[in-house]
Chains A and B, each alone.
Chain A
Amino acid sequence: MQSTLSHRSLLEPKSLRDALNMLRQEKSLVPMAGCTDLYVALNFGTLQDTRFLDLWRLDALRKIERRGDALSIGALATHSDLIRSPLVRSRLPMLAAAAREVGGVQIQNRGTIGGNVANASPAGDTLPVLAAAGAFVWLQSASGTRRVPFTAFYTGYRQTVRRHDELIVAFEIPAVRGRQWFRKVGTRAAQAISKVVMAGVVPSTGSGRAADGSVRIALGSVAPTVVRATRTEAALAAGASVEAAQRTLVEEIAPIDDTRSTAIYRRRVAANLLARMLAAR
């Protein structure tokens, strides 16, 4: 176990500025938050990097707060922080639901939302929530800050627009109107990686329309990256039946056969989840 960790070192920045300067000076430094993804990679020997930047003590990146009408969640907020936060529970309950599905309590106490997103696994459980909520990713480097729409953050399988000298500092989530829905399907109830994970927003009964006038649907584990099902959303907005929307969804996603499941099963489950989400009014 220990041998895989030889020749590694860990830098302990005192502040965010400190951390960003270290990243600028040394492009191969790898940020480390809760280490729940990194450690597993280290141990499998799939990680070549030898020098790490420990973000854990940068408490400024852990804040969950309102910014005007939006919710701002620091990258270092742990899944436990999300589950407990009154702001997250009231404004973005589907995120609390997703955080509750991540690992067990020990992983929730250490694993962060920034790590879940930066790790860029298409199975990350918080990713469909951020996609469905129309979130933005705030990236910061020693030379400045930029705000990227979450749906433009991933460019391919485990690829993101983040440059090596940037950190994810926060997520901005505009107010979500409508009923939020989240469901993860895995092999067993606990500690299982998703076979299919889906988050959505449905116009609340009565109002008839969500904020942008339509249903929003995002899925994980059904394509190389998390995806917004925009064609299915458009079909529903144009008045498609549930059955027609299911057919569109099944064509729109691109699941594969892998160790966890098959493409056929994933299409079937995605269609079933869509029907459930639309029925649960």
Chain B
Amino acid sequence: MPIPVRLRVNNAPRQHDIEPRLLLVHYLRDVCGLTGTHVGCDTSICGACTVLVDGKAVKSCTMFAIQADGSDVTTIEGIATNGHLHRVQQGFWDCHGLQCGFCTPGMIMASVHLLAGNASPSRAEIADGLRGNLCRCTGYSHIIDAVAQAANSTEVTHG
């Protein structure tokens, strides 16, 4: 039986009647039409589906959408402002942090969460913060470069 949920996705209020079994990732992709959040596995291991729920990085394939009732959800579509890439997106662009791009939305959302808690992480801390995300293409080192650049760019803006 469908039940009502109200939440905010990328700052926009949303209200739907949905089946309790609907996973958050399918809600975002199929109900909200936000297909930037990817599904890369069926064992919750890849991290491609990472979004922020009330500021915390979670795998949206391990949550039912109704469990996000009342929450603020941020997806990859919600981090650029006025047509300007978020500094983490810019980092991935500048440092070739992607090849096929499948893992990228999840990598970026996990990086946004990481930088919110640690403004200037070491390379080891970046690798640790992204251990829940798999990439089959890049070998990770350009991803770490991208996040390191994004971290440095905060210092510039804030300094």
Give the B-binding residues of A (Cβ under 8 A).
1-2, 5-10, 12, 34-36, 39-40, 43-44, 54, 56, 80, 103-107, 109-110, 189-191
Flag if B131 contacts A10 (CB, 8 Å): no
Residue of A34, A189, A191 ringed by the most chain B CB atoms within 10 A = A191
Flag if B66 contacts A39 (CB, 8 Å): no
Interface locus among B6-14, B36-44, B81-89, B142-150: B36-44
Flag if B58 contacts A8 (CB, 8 Å): no
Please, how many angstroms separate the alpha-carbon atoms of A43 and B61 in the complex? 10
B20 interface contact, C-beta 8 A: yes
Q: Mark out the residues of chain B between 31 and 72 whose CB falls within 8 Å of any chain A CB in the assembled complex.
A: 39, 42-45, 47, 50, 56-59, 61-64, 66-67
Residue of A54, A105, A106 ringed by the most chain B CB atoms within 10 A = A106
Give the A-binding residues of B (Cβ under 8 A).
1, 20-23, 26, 39, 42-45, 47, 50, 56-59, 61-64, 66-67, 110, 113-114, 128-133
Q: Which residues of A contact B56 (CB under 8 A)?
A: 80, 109
Q: Which residues of B contact A191 (CB under 8 A)?
A: 45, 131-132
Instruction: Knowing A1-B42, A8-B21 are in contact, say whether A103-B62 is a contact too (CB < 8 A).
Output: no
Instruction: Knowing A10-B21, A40-B44, A105-B57 are in contact, say whether A34-B62 is a contact too (CB < 8 A).
Output: yes
Instruction: Knowing A105-B57, A109-B57, A110-B63 are in contact, say whether A39-B44 is a contact too (CB < 8 A).
Output: yes
A–B Cβ pairs within 8 angstroms, 27 of them: A1-B42, A2-B26, A5-B22, A6-B21, A9-B20, A12-B66, A34-B62, A35-B64, A36-B59, A39-B62, A54-B64, A56-B67, A80-B56, A104-B47, A104-B130, A104-B133, A105-B110, A105-B131, A106-B59, A106-B62, A106-B110, A107-B62, A109-B57, A109-B58, A110-B58, A110-B62, A191-B132
Flag if B132 contacts A10 (CB, 8 Å): no
Beyond A2-B26, A35-B64, A44-B42, 7 additional pairs, beta carbon < 8 A: A1-B61, A9-B1, A104-B47, A105-B114, A106-B57, A109-B56, A191-B132
Q: Which residues of B contact A110 (CB under 8 A)?
A: 58-59, 62-63
Q: Which residues of B contact A12 (CB under 8 A)?
A: 66
Instruction: Knowing A5-B21, A9-B21, A36-B44 are in contact, say whether A104-B132 is a contact too (CB < 8 A).
Output: yes
Flag if A190 contacts B131 (CB, 8 Å): yes
Q: CB within 8 A of B58: which of A10, A40, A106?
A: A106
Flag if A5 contacts B23 (CB, 8 Å): yes
Q: Which residues of A contact B44 (CB under 8 A)?
A: 36, 39-40, 107
Q: CB within 8 A of B131: which of A1, A34, A43, A189?
A: A189
Q: Which residues of B contact A9 (CB under 8 A)?
A: 1, 20-21
Please, how many angstroms separate the alpha-carbon atoms of A12 and B44 in the complex? 23
Flag if B58 contacts A39 (CB, 8 Å): no
Closest CB-CB distance, B25 to chain A, in whole Å?
Answer: 9
Q: Which residue of B lies closest to A103 (CB)?
A: B132
Q: Which residues of B contact A105 (CB under 8 A)?
A: 57, 110, 113-114, 129, 131-132
Q: Which residue of A lies closest to B60 (CB)?
A: A106
Please, how many angstroms separate the alpha-carbon atoms of A110 and B63 in the complex? 9
Q: Which residue of A lies closest to B50 (CB)?
A: A106
Flag if B42 contacts A43 (CB, 8 Å): yes
Q: Which residue of A lies closest to B130 (CB)?
A: A104
Closest CB-CB distance, B131 to chain A, in whole Å?
Answer: 3
Closest CB-CB distance, A35 to chain B, in whole Å?
Answer: 5
